[in-house]
């Protein structure tokens, strides 16, 4: 579900951006008649994608495990770009229309940057006296809990339920090292023995 909504959101945002880039070019180059034609003929299309844009955005916001300040700046940029575009096209102010498109492109970039934030958490300090079980738990809380939740079954950002997972430990090790879909790759941040300690810890999760 999350994956499908995310793909829809990306598609809709791309269409929205393309339409606004075309309209802005027409405004900047003074092709007013063509701009009016494009605006009139895409009115319904624009309404539908606006609703989808907002609806999928709200769903993703509510179901994401990875909300950082970047996401909030991104949302601010999007909401600031809307009145700019409306005024820009209504009052025929090309600079405002361009700024609004730039805001949208910047928010697109922020969303991409946000994905990498998860790997930048401060690495927890591990003492040599800690048991493997303690290390596994500590690392799980630091790196995995945001999406998988305290008990492994939160499913945020489209995360799979770890309690009902049927993967073997080797398959899990590979998946965690390389990442999959919305799950980041951890090979560069965690050595294999630490990933194995996390897997052991996740095997202690039980359905409530």
How many Å apart are CA 110 and CA 76, to the nearest integer? 11
Binding window for ligand HEC (CB under 6 A); candidates: 11-19, 21-29, 97-105, 138-146 = 138-146
Site for ligand HEC in 79-108 (CB under 6 A): none
Total number of residues binding ligand HEC (CB under 6 A)?
26
In which residue are the tokens 């958490």 written? 121
CB of 36 to ligand HEC, least distance (A): 44
72 and 110 Cβ atoms separated by less than 8 Å: no
- Residue 205 backbone dihedrals phi, psi, to 5 degrees: -70, 140
Residue placing its CB nearer to ligand HEC in the complex, 95 or 167: 167
Min dist CB 53 to ligand HEC, Å, is 22
Can you tell me the distance from the alpha carbon of 161 to that of 167, in angstroms, rounded to the nearest whole number? 11
Looking only at residues 153 through 192 of this chain, which bind ligand HEC when binding is defined by CB under 6 A? Answer: 157-160, 162, 165, 167, 172, 175-176, 180-184, 186
What is the C-alpha separation between 58 and 36, in angstroms, rounded? 31
Q: Does 6 bind ligand HEC (CB under 6 A)?
A: no
CA 132 to chain centre: 32
As a whole number of angstroms, the distance between CA 21 and CA 27 comes to: 10
Instruction: Kindly tell me which of 23 and 172 has the beta carbon lying closer to ligand HEC.
Output: 172
Catalog residues that contact ligand HEC under the rule CB under 6 A: 65-66, 118, 143-144, 146-148, 157-160, 162, 165, 167, 172, 175-176, 180-184, 186, 198, 202
């Amino acid at each position: 579900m999350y994956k499908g909504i995310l793909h829809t959101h990306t598609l809709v945002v791309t269409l929205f951006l393309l339409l606004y880039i075309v309209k802005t070019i027409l405004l900047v180059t003074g092709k007013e008649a063509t701009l009016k034609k494009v605006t009139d003929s895409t009115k319904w299309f624009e309404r539908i994608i606006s609703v989808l844009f907002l609806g999928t955005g709200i769903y993703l916001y509510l179901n994401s495990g990875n909300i950082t300040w970047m996401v909030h700046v991104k949302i601010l940029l999007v909401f600031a770009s809307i009145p700019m575009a409306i005024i820009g096209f209504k009052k025929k102010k090309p600079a405002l229309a361009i700024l609004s498109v730039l805001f949208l492109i910047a928010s697109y970039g922020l969303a991409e940057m946000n994905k990498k934030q998860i790997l930048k958490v401060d690495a927890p300090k591990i003492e040599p006296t800690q048991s493997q079980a303690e290390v596994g738990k500590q690392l799980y809380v630091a790196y995995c809990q945001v999406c998988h939740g305290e008990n492994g079954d939160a499913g945020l950002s489209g995360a799979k339920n770890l309690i009902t997972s049927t993967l073997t430990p080797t398959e899990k090790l590979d998946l965690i090292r390389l990442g999959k879909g919305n799950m980041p790759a951890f090979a560069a941040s965690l050595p294999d023995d630490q990933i194995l300690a996390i897997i052991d810890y996740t095997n202690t999760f039980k359905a409530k």
